[in-house]
Amino acid sequence: MLRRTPTGPSTTTVMVGMTALLGVTALLGASVLWGDPGLRAAPATTGAPARHPLTSTDFIKANGTVLRTDSGAGAAINLRGTNLGGWLVQEDWMSPLGEFALDRGGWTVTASTGSHASATVDGEQATHWSTSGPQRAGDQIRVDLRQPTWVNRVTLGTDRVGEHPRRLAVETSSDGQTWTNVAQQGGTDQETVVRFGLQKTRFLRLVAVDLDAAPWSISELNLFNDPVAHDAGWTAQASATATGTTPAAAVDGDPTTAWQSGVPQAPGQALTIDMQRVIQMDRLLLDAGSAAPDDFARSWEILTSTDNVTFEHAASGFGSGRTTLVDFQGWKWGRYLRIVNHATAPQWWSVADVAVYTGNQMDRAGWQISASEGQAPERVIDGDVGTRWSTGSPPAGRPAHHR
């Protein structure tokens, strides 16, 4: 049971059992859970001092998107656990965002202009960082994640109408000195979502690219590590390639390298990727790269194959910017991906990065399994329920099990 007890000004993080938190979450729905001074878990020891009768101030309650003490009128509280994203929940819909974001504990946020940069990670929609004036090219907000972290999506939320970035660049860095542009796109009101190929970074920087009379503000900033296929060992072939580039640059995981067609876009041009194994996938991200952001396919089709002979249609559509997110509208299976251009355009066609999304399933390719005893521990990730790893003998002191 959770109740308030008198404390000093320090903030207390509450650790509760899974059952208790699941009950609270299931009843109240997804809510933002943040720091609460004065919240304590009632000790289960005998002989504890008597407690005052329960009143409305002893209960937590959802107030908008935030859980608060004093029946929704007090301080916002933070229930922290050990699951992905820092939320002590079993299902992603139970988290405040409706999905798992990365845990923001320990992050440091600074800005080149304006004030209250830390408000972007405080869990309060009512607080925000703002440029406090017209947004200018070069205005930026910088996040120190404290440790190298895998990231491939950024979301920026604001409830201030019209105060979204008109055009935004996302940059990553391992040392805070040398930066790599991994994405650049326009913003949208209320929430701007930026996707890019999976990057391991300690620092992340958001930079305004265009001028606008409206301020740029952020209420909440979140980062995600969406499951994507492991691309080690992938190979690629193309129908045409510019001198000095190679199809392999499209699948090397480096957004600073790119394959280029070397000729203007024309129907029938194709890039074929061998993922070395059959993969279950539901989306695809194509990035033209920072060096040639306008060299995206104007009209494209995605085909899949298990044998590189017979290909099936997976999706088709039109490109409109540097990055193209392709939704297969369901699961597709294949070892080979063929991306075909169907448009005529004066620009070359460029692909700097390809990310294959695997729904909510982590790709186990590249994992290494070991065990203290027994044989073939790799069977626990071979995808075959008919194989297994076993100790081979019962632990010491335990009788053997006979069928």
Domain residue spans of the chain: 2-46+54-94, 108-224, 235-357, 368-403
Residue 119, φ and ψ in degrees, nearest 5: -65, -20
Instruction: Quote the pLDDT of residue 142.
Output: 98
Higher pLDDT, residue 82 or 163: 163
Instruction: Quote the pLDDT of residue 125.
Output: 83
Residue 337, φ and ψ in degrees, nearest 5: -120, 130
Tokens found for residue 22:
């699941």
8 Å CB contact between 354 and 254:
no
Q: How many helices (H) and strands (E) does the chain have?
A: 2, 20
The arithmetic mean of pLDDT across residues 200-227, rounded, is 95
Residue 164 clears pLDDT 50, i.e. is over it: yes
Distance CA 373, CA 175 (A): 41
Tokens found for residue 55:
């009143």
Are 108-224 and 235-357 in the same CATH fold? Answer: yes
The residue to which tokens 């969406």 are assigned: 226
Task: Pick 235-357's CATH classification: 2.60.120.260, 2.40.33.20, 3.40.640.10, 2.40.30.10.
Answer: 2.60.120.260
Distance CA 73, CA 11 (A): 17
Residue 10 clears pLDDT 50, i.e. is over it: no
Architecture of domain 108-224: Sandwich (2.60)
Question: How many residues does this entry show for the chain?
Answer: 403
Instruction: Quote the pLDDT of residue 275.
Output: 97
Q: Which of 23-32, 37-46, 236-245, 334-343 has the lowest mean pLDDT?
A: 23-32
